[in-house]
């Protein structure tokens, strides 16, 4: 992961995308956002992110599990962070978790957790 990690936020709620973008940007990351899997796929193809933050409960037929499949296929080196209101016991396997509601401290903790040793 670079000194300034590239983060892709996938969340269907605009306020959540903007908050995550702000917090990751303040933590020194380059941030792109997408409202769902279809919007994320071209961004993943254009440049694989270091970290993909995925909301599990996306609207319509979309869901975070589909987004994670796309990330693993298109950008297999990306670290996946689950960001959800669901109980963590319901989270699929991922590199880190960011339960909603989240704080700036939790965002920084996730970044620290994902730094290479």
CA dihedral (106, 101, 93, 56) in degrees, to 10, reads -140
Q: Are 52 and 1 in contact (CB under 8 A)?
A: no
Q: Note the pTM of the prediction, 2 decimals.
A: 0.94
Domain CATH number, residue 70: 3.40.50.2300
Pairing, β 30-34 against β 51-55 = unpaired
* Tens of each residue's pLDDT in the chain, 117 residues: 557 999 999 999 999 999 999 999 999 999 999 999 999 999 999 999 999 999 999 887 788 999 999 999 999 999 999 999 988 888 899 999 999 999 999 999 999 999 876
Quote the CA–CA distance of 67 and 56 in Å, as a whole number. 8
Residue 21 in any domain: the answer is yes
In a domain, 62, yes or no: yes
The answer to whether residues 12 and 35 touch, using CB atoms and an 8 Å cutoff, is yes
**Residue 117 forms part of a structural domain:** no
Is 65 among the domain residues? yes
């Amino acid at each position: 992961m670079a000194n300034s990690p590239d983060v892709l936020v996938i969340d269907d709620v605009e306020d959540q995308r903007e908050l995550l973008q702000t917090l990751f940007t303040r933590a020194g990351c380059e941030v792109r956002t997408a409202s769902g899997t279809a919007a994320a796929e071209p961004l993943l193809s254009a440049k694989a992110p270091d970290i993909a933050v995925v909301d599990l409960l996306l609207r319509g037929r979309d869901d975070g599990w589909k987004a994670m499949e796309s990330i693993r296929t298109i950008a297999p080196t990306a670290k996946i962070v689950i960001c959800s209101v669901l109980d963590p016991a319901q989270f699929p396997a991922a590199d880190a978790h960011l339960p909603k509601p989240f704080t700036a401290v939790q965002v920084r903790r996730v970044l620290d957790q994902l730094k290479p040793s």
